Structure formats: structure tokens, C-alpha cells
Copies of this chain bind each other. A is one copy, B any other.
Amino acid sequence: MTTLRINSDRLWLSLMQLGQIGATPKGGVCRLALTDEDRQGRDLFIEWCREIGLEVRIDEIGNIFARRPGTDPDRRAIAMGSHIDTQPTGGKFDGNYGVMAGLEVLRTLHEHGIQTEAPLEVIAWTNEEGSRFVPVMMGSGVFSGAFTLAHALAATDTQGLSVGDELQRIGYAGTHPAGDVPGGMFEAYIEAHIEQGPILEAHDLPVGIVPGALGQRWYNVTLSGMEAHAGPTPMDMRHDALLAAASLVTKVNQIAMDHAPHARGTVGYMNVMPNSRNTIPGSVAMSVDFRALDDATLLSMHNALHSHAELLQRHDSKLSIEIEQVVYFPPCHFTPTCIATVRQAADKLGIGHMEVVSGAGHDAVYVANLAPTAMIFVPCKDGISHNELEDAKPEHLAMGADVLLHAVLQLANGGKS
């Protein structure tokens, strides 16, 4: 008997068809949350769900759940999913792949007349990207209780339009209570996603098994020295804020290297004042983004940053450095049994894989607070996402969906897949 496989062409065509809604001239997608394009994408997804007999429910924050019943009335559902909203200059795969892969798993089971003991669900979470409305990961955040429904509904875009009003306008203000799952919370949740990084491509492997997502500490750093003329001011009488900032940038990178392989340290934003070529910079504002797989490492990085700032200030009495932490996301460890099931599915199918930690947040991070959770990564070209150039290979997408299929069958049938 041949091993069950998803239909690679159908998965690819669905991704391309969904990618036409909000398509940009450069081959990307602009389908911001709760716009007309988002509504069209949601409508198409639901149409496809109903074609294979799935039962659709919409909750109060607009999350879409499409259920395929199981044979055992006592089993809770196994869920799959991700999001279909995009960045303003986003791609066809980020988020969309997880939803379409989940749908393709259910289409495959439908096509082959395969029933599962546990019910199965595919989910499209509302506003993961956060481009139009913050907070990001809004639908899964409300679902998991990270913040309240009222808080999310009150969020407004730059035009002053609210999530609540826009959900009504596009017809996706559902009535199902947010956070409620018929029959009880999911037995497991598996989210397939493009990696958004370069690791799988560099290792030439099609599947990433994701042990968890990095915790994050973000900082605003302000350095104040003394503005002065570049010509008449000798080097040893300067209080150059940019020179100190350069030392911090180098140190932020070193701190992350010291906590390899999972730690990240990035200065992405820097604003130099007065930013005149013949004036020694008087002040610099910059960001620091630290990520690590555990809180102890994040704390160690935090302390190293502060130590270096103190060292710089000891060497220049007229330099002051203020460091304000502005964001904290705790590290997320996915569920070992769930991760093992994904790995076994890949092994069974003979699909090459490696462990890849998620450096970014995903809906799965919030769902992991409620249910056993795992993620499956597939490579994307050059590690690029949040970009119209985002691309992925049909065969990689198919292999990720095959792993999803067999992991879900294993979970839903209790070892009988």
C-alpha cells in the first residue's frame, strides 16, 4: 500500500489563486486585515471549506474555524492553521501556506474517504501581521486570552477605523464566543509556515521541526554626548554620541554571538542628531532587539547590554545612556510529544528535516498556552519574507503539507495512521 500524500498541484494552485486577491504588480500580495481584499480571501477560503463539507464557525474576533467531524464523540479536535492577512508589501506564502496546507490535508482525506477518530479543524486567525491594527497576532491573542476581546475590537487603524467596525463591515463579526471550542479545547494544534529565515535553504533540507519560538526583549536606547564642530574639536576633547552608539552596535552583535546558536541581537533603527556631516553628533536614538530561547539567556543579554553602557559612561563623564525596555515576549517551548509526532511523520515519509527555532512570533505561540502545539517550517527563497519577492518551491510546500497530514493522522487516530 502506497503512503498517502497530499495533492501538490492542488495546494500550489490554491496558493496562487488566493494570491490573486490583493496581488501586487511585483508578484506579492497586499491583503491587510479586515479590508475588502481580506473579506474576498476569507470568502474564498470558506467556499473551499464548504466544497468538502466542512462546518464553518466565525468567532467574535473574526477567526474562522472549519471542522471535519471525527468518529469518536469523546475526542476533542486536532487543529491546523495560520493566517491569510498579509503585510502591505507581503508575499503569497507567509500565513497563507499554513491555512492552505491545513485545507489541503482535509481535501486529501475527503478525496480518499478517510475518517479520523478525532475531529479535525483548519483555522484562519484574524490579523496576525498587525500591519493595519495592533496588537499583532490579534485573533490568536484574543482566543488564548493574551488580551481581551474589547481591547482588540477597539484597536484603530491610521484612518481611525476600528477592528469592531471593520469586522461588521466585511461581515466577519462572528457570534461564536472567542476562546470556546465545541467539545473542548484542541487536543493539539500544528501550524505549517515558511521559515522566514535562511537556515533550511542553507542546509538544503525541506522541513524544519520547530522546538519553540525565541523570547524577545526590545529596547529604546538614547545616547547623549555633546554636539560640537568637527573641525576645531580635538579627538580627545569630544563626547561623540555616535562613536558610543557604534560601540553599542558592535557589542549587541557580540552579546548575541556569545549566546550562540539561538540568540539574536539587532540594532535595526538609528537616528543621529543633528545628522550634519561636519558636526560631532550630540545624541543618538537607537533600538536594540534581543531574542533567545530561554529567559535566563535573555536576562544575561540584558545585563551585558547594561554593563557595556555603564562602561562607556565611565570612560566619558559627559556621555549619558538611557536604556528603556519597551517589549517583552516570553520564550515559547512547543510540546515535546507534539514535536515528536511531527518528526516521526517526516521520518516515516523519508523527508529530510532539522530542528529550526522560530525567531519570529506566530499564532502557534499563543495557542501553545492552551493546547499541545508544534510547527512545521518549509524553506523560503533566500530567507526572504514580508516582501513581494517572497517565494517558495512547490515541492517543499508539498513535503511540509505531507508531514502535516501524517502528523495529524497520527494525533487524530492515536497511533493508527
A249 at the interface (CB under 8 A from B): yes
Q: Which residues of B contact A386 (CB under 8 A)?
A: 229
Given A230-B291, A242-B270, also A253-B235 (CB < 8 A): yes
Scan residues 191-233 of chain A and give those whose CB is less than 8 A from a CB of chain B.
195-199, 202, 214, 216, 218, 228-233
Cβ-neighbour of A291 out of B197, B231, B250, B266 (below 8 A) = B231
| Cβ distance A142 to chain B, nearest Cβ, rounded Å | 23
Q: Which residues of B contact A234 (CB under 8 A)?
A: 197-199, 261, 264
Roughly how many angstroms separate A229 CA and B272 CA in the complex, as a whole number?
A: 23
- Contact yes or no, B249 A202, CB < 8 A: no
A4 at the interface (CB under 8 A from B): no
Roughly how many angstroms separate A218 CA and B263 CA in the complex, as a whole number?
A: 38
Given A242-B270, A278-B289, also A235-B198 (CB < 8 A): no
Scan residues 258-308 of chain A and give those whose CB is less than 8 A from a CB of chain B.
260-261, 263-272, 275-281, 287, 289, 291
- Contact yes or no, B261 A197, CB < 8 A: no
Q: Which residues of B contact A228 (CB under 8 A)?
A: 197-198, 383-384
Q: Which residue of B has the minimal Cβ distance to A361?
A: B231
Given A246-B249, A250-B243, also A280-B266 (CB < 8 A): yes
Q: Which residues of B contact A383 (CB under 8 A)?
A: 228-229, 232-233, 237
Q: Which interface residue of A216, A264, A361 has the most chain B CB atoms within 10 A?
A: A264
| Cβ distance A280 to chain B, nearest Cβ, rounded Å | 6
A126 at the interface (CB under 8 A from B): no
Interface residues on A, range: 35 or more
- Contact yes or no, B196 A229, CB < 8 A: yes
Cβ-neighbour of A232 out of B233, B279, B358 (below 8 A) = B358
A257 at the interface (CB under 8 A from B): yes
Cβ-neighbour of A246 out of B214, B250, B291 (below 8 A) = B250
Roughly how many angstroms separate A117 CA and B289 CA in the complex, as a whole number?
A: 72
- Contact yes or no, A235 B214, CB < 8 A: no
- Contact yes or no, A229 B275, CB < 8 A: no
- Contact yes or no, B275 A196, CB < 8 A: no
Q: Which residues of B contact A291 (CB under 8 A)?
A: 230-231
- Contact yes or no, B269 A277, CB < 8 A: yes
- Contact yes or no, B275 A272, CB < 8 A: no
Roughly how many angstroms separate A277 CA and B195 CA in the complex, as a whole number?
A: 20
- Contact yes or no, B196 A232, CB < 8 A: yes
- A240-256 CB mask vs B (1 if < 8 Å, else 0) is 10110111011001001
Roughly how many angstroms separate A291 CA and B233 CA in the complex, as a whole number?
A: 11
Q: Which residues of B contact A384 (CB under 8 A)?
A: 228
Q: Which residue of B has the minimal Cβ distance to A281?
A: B268
A62 at the interface (CB under 8 A from B): no
Q: Which interface residue of A197, A235, A359 has the most chain B CB atoms within 10 A?
A: A235
| Cβ distance A256 to chain B, nearest Cβ, rounded Å | 5
Q: Which residues of B contact A263 (CB under 8 A)?
A: 235
A385 at the interface (CB under 8 A from B): yes
Complex A-B, nearest 6 residue pairs according to Cβ-Cβ distance, in ascending order: A197-B232, A231-B359, A277-B287, A232-B359, A246-B249, A230-B266
12 A–B contacts from the bound complex (CB under 8 Å): A196-B231, A198-B228, A198-B232, A198-B234, A199-B232, A230-B359, A231-B358, A233-B383, A235-B253, A236-B257, A246-B249, A268-B280
